[in-house]
Amino acid sequence: MPPALLDPDNVERARRAGDRGLCDHCLGRLFGKVETGLTNPQRSARLRAATGAGEVEPAACHVCEGLFGELDRLAAVAAEALAPFEFTRYLIGTKVDADVLAREQTLAAELGCENTEPANSELNREIGKRVAHLRPGIDVEFRDPEVTAVVDTRFDHVTLQHGGLFLYGRYRKFDRGIPQTVWPCRRCRGRGCETCGRTGKQYMTSVQELVQGPALEASGATQAAFHGAGREDIDARMLGSGRPFVLELKDPKVRSLDLAALVARVNQEASGRAEVDGLRFARKAEVQHVKEFHGRKTYRAHVQFDGPVAAETLNKAIAALRGRAIAQRTPSRVEHRRADLVRERVVQDVTVEGLRETAADLVIVGDAGLYIKELVSGDEGRTQPSLAGLLGVPARVRTLDVLDVQYEDAGAKGTPRGSPP
């Protein structure tokens, strides 16, 4: 436990430090971890009273050479850099001339001061307090600031590090011709070529673009990332309650978005292709929660058979699939972009909604990661067992819809602290 501030040894150290000529900030900071509840100038005042030393202006200070006389000006520089951005949680960081830090460390070592506060720490705090005074309604946040302003005290330059703005919601996709996220052109890999019309994209639009376009405009963000709880095939629709996602908006200028208006605009502009609902502000941690989703999914598959299939035969095959662990080697259609592994997934349930001689509508409930098309076709033996294998008749999925994505909403209990209402 540190000794009391006016311990005889500390008083003697303060007397010796005073001979060097230190301002109140630099003298007090030598004992900055002694006795809580005091500012460094207050510590300095008590020590000067005990030693009889006079005050020293920052401009004449041996350590900072005037730096701590510039606090108001540095705070104004930081506030000006922050002015275009809306935020409630912030943090101030500083870069300090290496000579200042070296003089401070050398003096502390010579005097035997073991409870010194670094100059950066006091600068961060004092500039941060002044920024808050210049811009009421904001709070310092150490763990999850919406923006961090790093003030380079040598050049009056401020670097802003923005925390993202995260929006959680669910989307439905009605267009069987668009993917969930942007796909770079296979030929030029996103650079732009004649094949993709110089867009760099394999598909003209995606759910991501339909959602992020209005969000980028409303927030003034520079970029966006789309994180979905899994993804459906491009030619599959996403229906029912929709698929959970988190939209990450990077470097936003505006955070108090009107989410109801944003939903209305997305749905209007994406009419007939996709829609969103349940949009709310989210925590950064929800990105990982969404990406690690392992819940069940429900599908409707319109299946075509190469020959007639009797109801009794179909029901027998379906009964053999219910509750069955399916071994699926990476499907041939995606093996070019996914590791060639054998994955085991369970078919929770299968029901028949309609049967014709050579076609059937099936509702299938399965673990996340279960490939439905391959469950039906067998993928030339890469999926075992399969519906086609059990029937002894080739079968394939003609159309596929996702009806439900089982998901535990990690942020349903409340809005993140400090986010807009």
Q: What is the pLDDT of residues 181-204, one digit of tens each?
A: 998 888 898 889 998 889 898 888
Tell me what pLDDT residue 412 has: 55
Tell me what pLDDT residue 329 has: 95
Burial class of 197 by CB neighbour count within 10 A (0 to 12, 13 to 18, 19+): exposed
Catalytic residue among 144, 233, 235, 409: 233
Of the candidates 162, 182, 205, which is a domain's last residue? 162
Residue 90 resides in a domain:
yes
The three-class DSSP label of residue 246 is: strand
Spatial distance between the Cα atoms of 421 and 88, rounded to a whole number of angstroms: 12
Q: Predicted confidence band at 421 (pLDDT cuts at 50, 70, 90)?
A: very low
With a cut of 70, say whether residue 417 has pLDDT above it: no
Residues 12 and 155 in one domain: yes
Kindly report the length of the chain: 421
The chain-wide mean pLDDT, for the chain, equals 93
Mean pLDDT within 50-65: 95
Mean pLDDT within 334-339: 81
The CATH number of whichever domain residue 181 belongs to comes to 3.30.70.2510
Residue 327 resides in a domain:
yes
The three-class DSSP label of residue 413 is: coil
Closest CA to 262 of 251, 275, 246: 275
Task: Tell me the two tokens of residue 12.
Answer: 């003697």
Of residues 407 and 344, the one with the higher pLDDT is 344
In the block, residue with structure tokens 């520089």: 77
CB 282 within 8 A of CB 416: yes
CB 253 within 8 A of CB 220: yes
Tell me what pLDDT residue 339 has: 85
Residues 281 and 307 in one domain: no
| Number of structural domains found in the chain | 3
Residues 284 and 377 in one domain: no
Structural domain including 243 reads 165-291
CB 47 within 8 A of CB 145: no
H-helix or E-strand spanning residue 356: strand 342-356
Residues 145 and 171 in one domain: no
Residue 2 resides in a domain:
no
Cross-strand partners of 301? 362, 400
Residue 421 resides in a domain:
no
Residues 43 and 158 in one domain: yes
Say if residue 385 is preceded by a cis peptide, omega within 30 of 0.
yes
Long-range pairs, 49-55, Cβ under 8 A, ≥24: 50/6, 50/11, 50/14, 51/11, 51/14, 51/15, 51/18, 53/14, 53/15, 53/18, 55/24
Residue 103 backbone class (left: φ over 0; alpha: ψ -120 to 50; beta: rest) = alpha
Residues 17 and 115 in one domain: yes
Residues 42 and 182 in one domain: no
How many C-beta atoms lie closer than 10 Å to residue 260's C-beta? 9
Spatial distance between the Cα atoms of 232 and 47, rounded to a whole number of angstroms: 69
Spatial distance between the Cα atoms of 91 and 168, rounded to a whole number of angstroms: 25
Closest CA to 400 of 303, 335, 307, 318: 303
Q: pLDDT tens for residues 79-95?
A: 999 999 999 999 999 99
Residues 226 and 281 in one domain: yes
The CATH number of whichever domain residue 386 belongs to comes to 3.30.70.3190
Tell me what pLDDT residue 2 has: 60
Tell me what pLDDT residue 186 has: 85
Residue 410 resides in a domain:
no
Task: Tell me the two tokens of residue 349.
Answer: 């349930």
Integer CA distances (angstroms), 412 to 65, 169, 245, in order: 53, 11, 14
Does 233 qualify as catalytic in the annotation?
yes
Spatial distance between the Cα atoms of 301 and 223, rounded to a whole number of angstroms: 36
- How much of the chain, in percent, has pLDDT values that exceed 70? 97
Spatial distance between the Cα atoms of 186 and 314, rounded to a whole number of angstroms: 40
Residue 1 resides in a domain:
no
Residues 154 and 223 in one domain: no
